Amino acid sequence: MRTLILHAGLPKCGSSSIQRSLYAARDRLAARGLVYWDIGPNHSEPLKALSRPYCEKRMPGHLRARYGSDNAIEASLRACLARPAAFTVLSAEGMGRVKGPGKARAPRPEDGRGRLRAAVLAAGFDRLRIVIYVRPPLDWWNSLVQQRTKTQPRAEAETGNTSYRALMEPVLTLFPEAEAELRLFDPAGFAGGSLLADFLDAAGIPAELAADVEEVRANPSLSAEATDFLDRMQRQARGSDPIGRWFVERYLRPYLSGGGRFGLPRETLAAMIEANRDDIAWLSERMGRDMTPVLPEERAAAEDDGDEAEDRRAAMVLQLVRDLGRLRSAESLREAAAALDAGRSDAARRSLSRALNEWPRNAEAQALLGRLDG
C-alpha cells in the first residue's frame, strides 16, 4: 500500500523543524520506504509556483533560480510521487495559498491547484492523508506577530491575516477524499515526546522508520525584548526594503537572546478575538472542541529603565540599520558585476543604483557606475 501525506502547516506550528529534519535524512529515509520530495526542505514555494503567474512574477529571483520554471517543478513533483515507496511526504505550510484557475476549468499553467491535484491523482496512491497542526488562537496570534516582525513593523504585523479557515479549507477541499488529521500543537502532549515523533504518529508512519533521525530545531521564539528591538529596526529602516529573516538569523541572533516571553497587549487580543469570532467557530467545529480563547489577566506595566538605556538601544538600532544597508549594497554590487559579465548593462545599472541607494558611500559602486555612464 502506498500512502501520500500532505503536511499543510499551519505556520508557526513546528513546520520548519519537521521539514528540515526529514530533508536532512531524506536519503536514509528513502532507503527505508519513506520518500521526502528532494526539491528542498520547505515545499511551499515550489507548490505555489505551479501557478505560472506566481512563478514568473512573485517568486523571489533566487528561489526561481533554484527551482526553475513551473514546468520543471511539476516534472520534479511527478517524479517524486511516482517513486515506489510505502510513504511519500509533501510538507508546505503555504499549501493553502496555491492558486486556482480563475475562470479556467481545466488545469492550465495558471491553475496551481489543478496541477497539484492532477499530479497526486496520476500517481495512484492507495491512501491520502492530510496532517495540519493547529495552535490555540492567542498562542498562534502571538507567534505570528512575533515572526512577522522579522520582516515588517509590529503595527503592520498585527493587522496581517490570522484566519485558520483561509489556510486550512483550500487544502481540505482540494482533496476531499483524504483522511484529515487536525492536530493540536501541544509540546507537552507530543506522542513519543518530540515533534518529529508526534508528526510520524499523526501521519500513520511507523516510528522505527525515523528512529535515528535527529530533530532539527528551527525558528526559535524571540523574547519580548527581542521583538521590541526588531520593531525599532523595522521602523528605523522605513523607506528601504524591510529587514529580512536572513538578516535576523545571520546577524541579529547574538542581540536577540534572553528576555521575557512575548505577548500582545490584552486590548489587542480582545480586538482580534472579536474580529475572528466566525473563524474560531469554524475551527471549533473542525477540531471537535471549543477553541474560543480566554483573555489573559492584565499585565503589570514594565518598569522604565531610564534615558541612558533607551539611548543605547537607539544607537544600537541605528548602527545595525547602517550595517544592513552596507550588506545589501554589497549584494547589489555583486549582482551588477554578474550582469556586466553577461553583457546586460541596463540590469547592471539598476543594480548599481540600488547599491548606492542602500549605501551612498559605496566607492566601488560609484566607480563602476561612472565607467558605465562615461
Instruction: Please check whether residues 113 and 60 belong to one and the same domain.
Output: yes
**How far is Cα 325 from Cα 356, in angstroms, rounded to an integer?**
9
Beta-carbon contacts of 102 under 8 Å, excluding residues fewer than 6 positions away, are: 110, 111
Domain total in the chain: 2
* Number of other CB atoms surrounding residue 342 within 10 Å: 10
99-126 average pLDDT score: 86
Q: Note the pLDDT of residue 277.
A: 95
Q: Is residue 197 part of a domain?
A: yes
Q: Note the pLDDT of residue 369.
A: 86
What are the CA-CA distances from residue 310 to residues 227, 259, 304, 317 (Å)? 15, 16, 9, 11
Which is more confident, 77 or 333? 77
Instruction: Please check whether residues 108 and 251 belong to one and the same domain.
Output: no
Q: Is residue 98 part of a domain?
A: yes
74-101 average pLDDT score: 95
Instruction: Please check whether residues 122 and 254 belong to one and the same domain.
Output: no
Q: Is residue 282 part of a domain?
A: no
* Number of other CB atoms surrounding residue 361 within 10 Å: 10
Lowest mean pLDDT among 109-118, 302-311, 365-374: 302-311
Instruction: Please check whether residues 331 and 195 belong to one and the same domain.
Output: no
Q: Note the pLDDT of residue 85.
A: 96
Q: Note the pLDDT of residue 151.
A: 77
Q: Note the pLDDT of residue 110.
A: 83
pLDDT, tens only, 38-55: 999 999 999 999 998 888
Q: Is residue 243 part of a domain?
A: yes
- Residue-range definition of the domain harbouring residue 342: 224-261+307-373
Listed residue (96, 51, 103, 95) closest to 73, CA to CA: 51
Grid cell listed for 44: 511551499
Instruction: Please check whether residues 232 and 117 belong to one and the same domain.
Output: no
pLDDT, tens only, 243-275: 666 666 666 666 666 677 888 889 999 999 999
Q: Note the pLDDT of residue 82.
A: 97
End-to-end C-alpha distance for the chain, whole angstroms:
68
Report yes or no: 12 and 60 within 8 Å, Cβ to Cβ: no
Q: Is residue 293 part of a domain?
A: no
Among 179, 210, 241, the domain-final residue is: 210
Which is more confident, 267 or 149? 267
**How far is Cα 366 from Cα 352, in angstroms, rounded to an integer?**
8
Instruction: Please check whether residues 234 and 195 belong to one and the same domain.
Output: no
Instruction: Please check whether residues 201 and 90 belong to one and the same domain.
Output: yes
Q: Is residue 229 part of a domain?
A: yes
213-239 average pLDDT score: 78
Angle between helices 345-358 and 307-341 (to 10 degrees): 170
* Position 299 pLDDT exceeds 80: no
* Position 303 pLDDT exceeds 70: no
Listed residue (262, 305, 347, 359) closest to 61, CA to CA: 347
Instruction: Please check whether residues 55 and 180 belong to one and the same domain.
Output: yes
Listed residue (8, 88, 81, 80) closest to 44, CA to CA: 8
Instruction: Please check whether residues 312 and 362 belong to one and the same domain.
Output: yes
Residue 280's Cα: distance from chain center in Å? 23
* Position 127 pLDDT exceeds 80: yes
Instruction: Please check whether residues 251 and 362 belong to one and the same domain.
Output: yes
Q: Is residue 286 part of a domain?
A: no
Instruction: Please check whether residues 172 and 247 belong to one and the same domain.
Output: no
The verdict on whether omega for the bond into residue 209 sits within 30 degrees of 0, i.e. cis, is: no
Q: Is residue 57 part of a domain?
A: yes
pLDDT, tens only, 321-349: 777 778 778 888 888 888 888 888 888 88
Task: Give the bridge partners for 91, in sequence order.
Answer: 7
Instruction: Please check whether residues 130 and 228 belong to one and the same domain.
Output: no
Percent of the chain scoring above 70 in pLDDT? 87
Q: What is the CATH number of the domain that holds 39?
A: 3.40.50
Task: Give the bridge partners for 132, in sequence order.
Answer: 182
